[in-house]
Amino acid sequence: MLFTEEQMKNLEKNPNVQHVSETTITYTPAFKLAAVQAYAQGQTPSEIFIRAGFDLDIIGHKKPKHSLKRWRDTYDRYGEEGLTTERRGKGSTGRKPAGELSTEEELKRAKAKIKLLEAQVDILKKLEALERQKRKR
């Protein structure tokens, strides 16, 4: 589903929305947590989203159910912190920084880099040889 410019502007006005693109809505961590808690108290996903000011005709009628399922799984697995901290992309805390690689992993990466550099050198040598042949003609 693609959102129009007008729909995106309207969605961004909702205090429960962090960001909107043509294809996705990023909800605020506070809304995710409140939605999971409301669901635990017996509210349906659709009720939660409607009360939060979302038009299901715009976001899609399946969006509340799918989002709540994802958020509940995250909450069950990581607790409240799972919904309040970003675990994807640049802001994620899931990946180890490069400085924390094991010796084995560093060696593996170094070997891969050496192979890549050797392949690049071979290509350059072949290119030079072709250019020399071309100049001789």
Q: Name the residue among 45, 53, 44, 42 with its Cα closest to residue 17.
A: 53
- Per-residue pLDDT for 88 more than 90? no
**pLDDT at residue 84, as a whole number:** 81
- What region, left, alpha or beta, does residue 116 occupy, with left being phi > 0 and alpha being psi -120 to 50 degrees? alpha
**pTM of the full predicted structure?**
0.63
Reported as a single tens digit per residue, the pLDDT across 30-72 is 999 999 999 999 999 999 999 999 999 999 999 999 999 999 9
* 45 within 8 A of 65, measured Cβ to Cβ: yes
Average pLDDT of the chain, as a whole number: 89
Beta-ladder partners of 20? 25
Q: Determine the residue type at 1.
A: M
Q: Kindly report, residue by residue over 110-132, the tens digit of the pLDDT.
A: 999 999 999 899 999 999 999 99
Task: Report the alpha-carbon distance of residue 82 to residue 88 in Å, rounded.
Answer: 11
